[in-house]
Amino acid sequence: MAEVFFNEPTKEHYLIEISRKAKIAHTSVKNHLETLKRQGVIKETAEKKGERDFPLYKADTENKEYTLYKKTDNFIRLKTSGLVGYLKDSLMPSVIIVFGSYARGEDTEDSDIDIFVMCKEEPLRLEKFEKLLNRKIQLHFKKDLKDYPPELKNNIINGTVLDGYLEVF
């Protein structure tokens, strides 16, 4: 159910909407939401409609617990989507590194997935993976990391190796 908040971290959700998206009965959703609140993954506010207050739930993106769970979920999604295997089989790169907001667990609905692939550039069809991951995928091809500006080099080096080995020195 946390996936609802990982997919749309900037959006506020009503209980019934979360129930529909997670495909879980709203009575169970309420219990799960309480757990996620205690863990610091989400926060709750209320919207007044007439005489009633309707609870709204949103990802607590400032909380380190949220970021940890989001980052873990991102890596699991990359693995289970088959993208890493597809890149490995299609390109035979020496290393595949995810970097940027997706690697840090700070991505939002508008973010892309930045992936550095150390090999020569080849055209690939990524639409299937973009749909599965609900994000655009931006591949960065280079045969050598030295060809990048220092800021981008640092981002890549501080990313997470998904496959292979990055030799920096």
- Average pLDDT of the chain to the nearest whole number: 94
Answer yes or no: is pLDDT of 88 > 80.
yes
Residue 8 has pLDDT above 90, yes or no: yes
Q: Is 18 exposed, middle or buried (0-12, 13-18, 19+ CB in 10 A)?
A: buried
Residue 49: predicted pLDDT: 85
Dig out the tokens for 72 from the structure: 């873990």
pLDDT in tens, 98-147: 999 999 999 999 999 999 999 999 999 999 999 999 999 999 998 888 88
Other CB atoms within 10 A of residue 103 CB: 23
pLDDT score at 167: 82
Decide: 1 and 32 in contact? Cβ < 8 Å. yes
Condensed to tens digits (0 to 9), the pLDDT of residues 20-29 reads 999 999 889 9
Closest residue by Cα to residue 61 from 121, 117, 104: 104
What are the pLDDT digits (tens) for 30-70? 999 999 999 999 999 999 888 899 999 999 999 999 999 99
Domain boundaries, the chain: 3-59, 64-164
Architecture of domain 3-59: Orthogonal Bundle (1.10)
Of 10-14, 34-38, 164-168, which range is least confident?
Answer: 164-168
Residue 168: pLDDT above 80?
no
Fold assignment, 64-164: Beta Polymerase; domain 2 (3.30.460)
Give the span between the Cα atoms of 62 and 144, in whole angstroms: 35
